[in-house]
Amino acid sequence: MYFIETRGNDGQRPARIGFSDAILNPMSSFGGIYVPEHLPDLGGDFLAKHVSVDYKTLARDVLVAFELDIDAALIDEALALYDDFDDPANPVPVVRVSEDLYVSELYHGPTRAFKDMALQPFGTILSALAQRRGEHYLILAATSGDTGPATLETFKNRPNVKVACLYPDGGTSDVQRLQMVTEDAANLKVIGIHGDFDDAQNALKTLLGSDTFRAKLKEKNTLLSAANSVNFGRIIFQQIYHIHSYLELVRQGAIVLGDKVYLDVPSGNFGNALGGYYAMKMGLPVEKILIASNRNNVLTELINTGRYDLRDRSVIATHAPAMDILKSSNIERVLFDLFGGDRTRALMQQLDAERHYELRSDERAALQAIFSADYCDDDEGRRYIQQAFAAGYLMDPHTATCFKAYDTCRTQPLVTIAYSTAEWTKFSPTIANALTGEVGTHDVEALGAVAAKAGTPIPARIRALFGKPVTQDTVIDKSDIEQAVLSFL
């Protein structure tokens, strides 16, 4: 299978490339990104054949259906990392919360967040490709809290790869920050910036598109790639757990094969929702995808009004910080799929230049045929955390936003799969406040309070963070990012 560009081709790059080249060099013409030239059919026959298989077998067969230019042995090596999750036989448990609401828990990997689902195998593949080509890569990552730890975890001490990870200083939870700043592998650099996630992501995209920066890297015998979901190497793995979650419902007797479901996705940069969209396009029986946001509700506005407007807006700090994002990169891939390259280029360039765009009425209708959206503020999220806990389920504040969308966005009484993107341990002060009323507690006290209240242990990896020395203490202005990265190299 080949990959093509969301904003059309500039005549300076190949019109289509293989998967290996797309993940090693994820940015395309006119600042666009890569998408598959076509999607495989993973509908009824495929699903029927995979009702009884384990997660790794499903994942392998999905990747094979994409006809990737990656050999089978490397795919197996990458997927073997799921054996290090809490339950190797079922790395993504699907848990019943109420009669027609099930939660797909995506956080059972090493950094306790859903980014491990994609980044664990992705790191193996990218590093192996670099070694086989005899090339050295700088991997850039910008994080709102979860991509960073997962990227550092998957690439630490891997040959032919160095990582520079940007995060907004003060814009993550204490646990998320400690997961990054206590990393001590020599090939990792963590850089806090004065700003928000959009500042970090804009800096990443600027560097990825800078010929001058690439030239400076070339002097150091280094090429450039990225670990954010602008890289389709992330997205291809994020389609799999949507299919798995549906098949889990079949196995549990909640649905029969062919029944439609709602996918209820907490959304920031839209990669998780995009994985569900592609799964739906490939044949997964989905009624609609429900997009759950926090107070940074640009996606709610886009889907409900057709307007994407960042004018006079800045990021709002919320209790669901991984979604504190205004510029969602993966919306671009949906726009391309629905409206084509020329229209996508026009819309994205208008957003870059004028900080807004507006869809035509027919385009808005096309978007609304697939997605519904709502947002959940912090007070509502706290109430949903309390209600779920009273019913026997402990969840983080990002998952809570899905419970709002479940209540407000469904038009049919269909089984709904909500996606839990992070373990409660990563946001324990918010959970402690909701469950015990404690205010102003630090993570270490809040972890103990919630664990005692819920009668659940604190994972060893999380507990150990508070005894580790801080080894990455760089915090700079965003204007100094390029120099900091070059100094690291």
| pLDDT value at residue 409 | 98
pLDDT digits (tens, 9 = 90+) for 232-255: 999 999 999 999 999 999 999 999
Number of domains in the chain: 1
Q: Does 26 fall in a domain?
A: no
Distances (CA, A) of 69 to 5, 17, 415: 18, 10, 37
| C-alpha–C-alpha distance, residues 57 and 253, integer Å | 21
User: Is the pTM higher than 0.85?
Assistant: yes
pLDDT at 204 over 90: no
| pLDDT value at residue 442 | 85
pLDDT at 358 over 90: yes
Domain around 411: 93-113+234-459
The CATH number of residue 318's host domain is: 3.40.50.1100
Q: Does 181 fall in a domain?
A: no
Q: What is the mean pLDDT of residues 184-203?
A: 93
pLDDT at 488 over 90: yes
pLDDT digits (tens, 9 = 90+) for 377-424: 999 999 999 999 999 999 999 999 999 999 999 999 999 999 999 999
Q: Does 76 fall in a domain?
A: no
pLDDT-derived band of residue 173, with 50, 70 and 90 as boundaries?
confident
Q: What is the mean pLDDT of residues 253-274?
A: 97
pLDDT at 197 over 90: no
| pLDDT value at residue 216 | 95
Q: Does 381 fall in a domain?
A: yes
Q: Does 331 fall in a domain?
A: yes
Strand partners, 191: 166, 474
Q: What is the mean pLDDT of residues 357-375?
A: 98
pLDDT digits (tens, 9 = 90+) for 32-52: 999 999 999 999 999 999 999
| Residues near 211 by beta carbon (within 8 Å), at least 6 away in sequence | none
- As a whole-number percent, the residues of the chain with pLDDT over 70 amount to 100
pLDDT digits (tens, 9 = 90+) for 441-484: 889 999 999 999 999 999 999 999 999 999 999 999 999 999 99
pLDDT-derived band of residue 311, with 50, 70 and 90 as boundaries?
very high
The mean of the pLDDT values for the chain is 96
pLDDT at 57 over 90: yes
pLDDT at 157 over 90: yes
pLDDT-derived band of residue 22, with 50, 70 and 90 as boundaries?
very high
Q: Does 175 fall in a domain?
A: no
Place of tokens 């070694």: 131
